Amino acid sequence: MDLGYWLPLFFAGAMGLALLIYVVLDGYDLGIGLLLPFADEDEKDVMVAAIGPFWDANETWIVLGVGILLIAFPQAHGLVLTSLYLPVTLMLMGLILRGVSFDFRVKAGDKHKAKWNMLFAVGSLIASVSQGWMLGAFVTGLTGDATNTLFAFLIALALPALYIMLGASWLLIKTEGALFKKAVHWGRLAVLPMGAFLLLISIATPLVSATIAEKWFTLPNAIGLMPIPIATGLAYAGLIWVFNSNRILHNGYGWLAFLSLIVMCVLASIGLAYSLFPDIVLGRLSIWEAASATESLLFTFWGTVITLPMILCYTFFIYRVFRGKATDLSYE
């Protein structure tokens, strides 16, 4: 077996998986940050309690994603991150602000709480928009001309919409009563804009990138790809249906909305992976050109196959421990 061929492939897959998990998991807690200003004071506490035990570990997935980029594809790591200098810096400042606000809001004293709530929302917004910007710039090969910038701008707006939907859906699982009703309301408001963005991006992607257009619309691949948009459409329809069916919502099946969103994210990642492969920077660098030495990859490979399943197991365990409706966050 040719390790020099398979190991970069393995790490490209692992990186994709880490970033997918990041988008879903940190997506819902960033989304809750975005929704925070629309809740009243007590509801804010419950919303934060709904993400309290999880956000730290959620955020670690982006460190793993970027970590794999750095470990396995050092050539790409430098190119990607220097090109994305500005959005990365903004995202980091956003993540810093929201991460610390989470703790400061309950520890700095009541008279400062409103300020930290505000910074929590602002930080979440900066981080989400910057991530969309980064994704948009990355998908178009980091070229930064006018069309691509416009495309990046489009994704910069779309990603927060997705995060809001994830946040609202997470609240369906973790809350009850008035806040639950609010979450339904927020979801209903955001679901159409999110769908519109999704459609716009799907149309714009092949337009901004000839490479991707070719990959999408050449026969017979185009037929093989059809299940992706169809399944995405179905999942989206399911999402709308869940949010509009009181019967589903009030019988405790609200988690179906979150599931639909996961399905959509998975499908989008598959589509994205297909569009980029075998490049790690579209049209500029393939995963094999960017990969580090095989012996280094092999050393990390063993660590990854041992620890990653363990990480997934205890992540599952943590979610089990904190299952059910969110209760007051208490250290005692």
Partner 1 sequence: MEFDPFLLARLQFAANISFHILFPTITIGLCWVLFYFRLRYTFSGDKAWEYAYFFWVKIFALSFALGVVSGITMSFQFGTNWPGFMERAGNIAGPLLGYEVLTAFFLEASFLGIMLFGKNRVSNRLHLVSCALVAVGTSFSAFWILSLNSWMQTPTGFRLEDGVFFVDSWWEAIFNPSFPYRLAHMLNASLLTAAFLIMGVSAWRARRQVDGPATWKVMRTGALMAAVLAPLQVWIGDLHGLNTLEHQPAKIAAMEGIWETEKGAPLTLFGFPDEEAKTNHMAITIPHGASLILTHDWNGEIQGLNEFGDDIPPVAPVFWSFRVMVGVGMLMVLVGWWAAWRLFRRRDENRDNQIWLLRALSVMTFSGWVAVLAGWYVTEIGRQPWIVSGLLRTSEVVADHSSATVMGTLFGYVLLYAFLLVSYIAALRYMATKPARSLTLTPQQRAMKAERIDDESAQGEA
**Minimum distance from CB of 234 to partner 1 (Å)?**
33
Query: Residue 211, class by beta-carbon neighbours within 10 Å (0-12 exposed, 13-18 middle, 19+ buried)?
Result: middle
**Minimum distance from CB of 80 to partner 1 (Å)?**
7
Query: Residue 204, class by beta-carbon neighbours within 10 Å (0-12 exposed, 13-18 middle, 19+ buried)?
Result: middle
**Minimum distance from CB of 41 to partner 1 (Å)?**
17
66 binds partner 1 (CB under 8 A): yes
Q: What residues does 281 pair with on adjacent strands? A: 285
Q: What residues does 279 pair with on adjacent strands? A: 286
**Choice between 26 and 43, CB closer to partner 1:** 26
Q: Interface residues for partner 1 in 104-133 (CB under 8 A)?
A: 104, 107-109
**Choice between 114 and 210, CB closer to partner 1:** 114
292 binds partner 1 (CB under 8 A): yes
308 binds partner 1 (CB under 8 A): yes
**Choice between 9 and 108, CB closer to partner 1:** 108
Of 128, 20, 94, 123, the C-alpha closest to 64 is: 20
Residue 27 C-beta-side C-alpha neighbours within 13 Å: 25
175 binds partner 1 (CB under 8 A): no
Distance of alpha carbon 149 from alpha carbon 144, whole angstroms: 6
Of 135, 138, 127, the C-alpha closest to 90 is: 127
Residues that bind partner 1 (CB under 8 A): 52-54, 56-57, 59-60, 62-64, 66-72, 74-75, 77-82, 84-86, 88-89, 92-93, 95-97, 99-100, 102-104, 107-109, 292-293, 295-296, 299-300, 303-304, 307-308, 311, 314-315, 318, 321-322, 329-332
